[in-house]
Amino acid sequence: MSRDVAVLGAGMHPWGKWGRSFIEYGTIAARTALEDAGVDWRDVQSIVGADTVRGGYPGYVAGATFAKALGWQGARVTSVYAACASGAQAINTARTQILAGLADVVLVVGADAAPKGFFRPAGGDRQDDPDWLRFRVLGATNPAYFGLYARRRMALHGDTLEDFAQVKVKNAASGALNPYARYRKTVTAQDVAASAVVADPLRLLDICATSDGAAALVLSSMDFARRHGQADPVRIRAVSTVTPQYPQTVLDLPDIATDSAAAVQPPERTFRASIAHAAYEEAGIGPEELSLAEVYDLSTALELQWYEDLGLCGEGEGAKLLREGVTSPGGRVPVNSSGGLASFGEAVPAQAIAQVCELTWQLRGAAGERQVDGARVGITANQGLFGHGSAVVAVR
């Protein structure tokens, strides 16, 4: 039995620093997705909102917040939070409702209005909160973590500052072609090298910004899509929201220590690699079948790690794959044809949904100058704090 659901519509609000409410951004993205789908809001049977902890009480109940903003019409409502994986959790919730027969058409929305500078824990003193502890005990901001991860790759695999810079050059070139991107300017490796050191060895242009933005999808059953005149829509074939397995022997914030493997052997795959593996298994595909990928490039070094975690190459070969042009536009598996976080910045609950928007446009052949020739299969990947996996496989 097919477990595909159709992507009828995709919509976004441009990323930037607009100084307005996340509700406004999400409502615009939602209406754009509904228009793209040719579906009236009153015909939507369920709405799933990805939460933002920065939006006050409305942010914690994003599903109801967006339902009210669009106009109460009696739809089911769900709100989900999973840090950077919130959008994937929202997509998975919508898909589950459709496959369970609870709804034929569901609207998924995520939006954020991010603070200036790096993200920090929610207010208050909480000694049992690992996110609070890593700031108070280690002073480990997100950029500090990205820098440590980059140093690890340099030590283990021989990655260089020039390799990291080329990730930014590649993604900036794609972002310059994306009307929704915040940064629409090409950069050179020299620009990256000349930017200020933020967390050694990473420069300012190696690290993503925090942004305002929104993304939305209209998902439906395949039967609804056919009745709606969509005989061959983009389909979501798998969603992975797996958690880690004990013992974890590679440090992953917000945790500030690893598990011991003295008595128990580590699992076959690291947490990040298990995210994509679960998606491949459910979709019945392998990495060799991918046309493109959208990954969470919080830093340039972390993008190289995703190449390996997605199975595009072996361990330690990410930089080699980049140098060979495999992940560049026109390469065998272009990565971050949208421009990635390098071009957008983080709008946390929206980002995983935005990744699927990009896959949708690419698989439709509607990505304009960014179009990946012959795109048929795509995967997204990101990771939320507190053990939230996030990967979506879309096909055409």
Looking at the structure, do residues 219 and 297 belong to the same domain, yes or no?
A: no
pLDDT value at position 1?
56
Distance CA 350, CA 152 (A): 29
**Which CATH number is 271's domain given?**
3.40.47.10
- pLDDT tens for the 396 residues of the chain, in order: 579 999 999 999 999 999 999 999 999 999 999 999 999 999 999 999 999 998 899 999 999 999 999 999 999 999 999 999 999 999 999 999 999 999 999 999 999 999 888 888 877 888 889 889 988 888 889 999 999 999 999 999 999 999 999 999 999 999 999 999 999 999 999 999 999 999 999 999 999 999 999 999 999 999 999 999 999 999 999 999 999 999 999 888 888 889 999 999 999 999 999 999 999 999 999 999 999 999 999 999 999 999 999 999 999 999 999 999 999 999 999 999 999 999 999 999 999 999 999 999 999 999 999 999 999 999 999 999 999 999 999 999
Please tell me whether the overall predicted TM-score, pTM, comes out greater than 0.95 for this model. Answer: yes
Identify whether residues 221 and 195 lie together within a single domain: no
Residue 200 and residue 79 share a domain: no
Task: Please tell me the total count of domains within the chain.
Answer: 2
In a domain, 41, yes or no: yes
For residue 124, tell me if it sits in a domain: no
Cα distance between residue 148 and residue 198, in whole Å: 12
Nearest partner of 202 among 298, 299, 283, judged by Cα: 299
| 9 domain-assigned | yes
Same domain, 251 and 354: yes
Same domain, 341 and 193: yes
Please tell me the distance from the alpha carbon of residue 201 to that of residue 147, in angstroms, as a whole number: 6
Compute the C-alpha angle 125/348/250, nearest 5°.
70
* 357 within a domain of the structure (yes/no): yes
Q: How far apart are CA 80 and CA 87, in angstroms?
A: 8
Let me know whether 15 and 141 are in one domain.
no
Closest C-alpha to 30, from 83, 94, 82, 125: 94
Do 113 and 148 fall into the same domain? Answer: no
* Best CA proximity match to 353, nearest among 227, 185, 219: 219
Q: What is the pLDDT of residue 222?
A: 97
Q: What was the pLDDT predicted at 32?
A: 98
What domain range includes position 219?
A: 5-117+213-235
Tell me, what's the pLDDT at 123? 77
Residues 26 and 87 reside in one and the same domain: yes
